[in-house]
Amino acid sequence: MPRRMILFLAMVVALLVLGVPLFAGGLKVELMEPWNGRRIPEGQQCRLFGGDGWTPPMQVGNIPPGTVWIVAHFNNKSYKPLSREGGLGQIAWPAKWPVTYLYPIPGMAGLPKWGAFVVRPARTLEGYASPGYLPPCSGGQRHKYSVDIMAVDENGEVLARRRNVKLGKY
Q: Evaluate if residue 23 carries a pLDDT over 70.
A: no
The answer to whether the CB of 72 falls within 8 A of the CB of 137 is no
> What range defines the domain where residue 47 resides?
28-169
Confirm whether 11 is domain-assigned. Answer: no
Confirm whether 22 is domain-assigned. Answer: no
Cα 154 to chain centroid, rounded: 18
Q: Evaluate if residue 12 carries a pLDDT over 60.
A: no
Confirm whether 67 is domain-assigned. Answer: yes
Q: Evaluate if residue 20 carries a pLDDT over 90.
A: no
Q: Evaluate if residue 135 carries a pLDDT over 70.
A: yes
Confirm whether 23 is domain-assigned. Answer: no
Confirm whether 6 is domain-assigned. Answer: no
Q: Specify whether the backbone of 6 is left (phi greater than 0), alpha (psi in -120 to 50) or beta.
A: alpha
Of 69, 58, 45, residue with least CA distance to 130: 45
- What is the domain count for the chain? 1
Q: Evaluate if residue 129 carries a pLDDT over 90.
A: yes
Q: Evaluate if residue 101 carries a pLDDT over 50.
A: yes
Confirm whether 1 is domain-assigned. Answer: no
Average pLDDT over residues 134-151: 97
Confirm whether 10 is domain-assigned. Answer: no
| pLDDT band at residue 111 under the 50/70/90 scheme | confident
Confirm whether 125 is domain-assigned. Answer: yes
Residue 112: per-residue pLDDT? 82
Per-residue pLDDT of 49-83, as tens digits, reads 999 999 999 999 999 999 999 999 999 999 999 99
Residue 52: per-residue pLDDT? 95
CATH of the domain at 125: 3.90.280
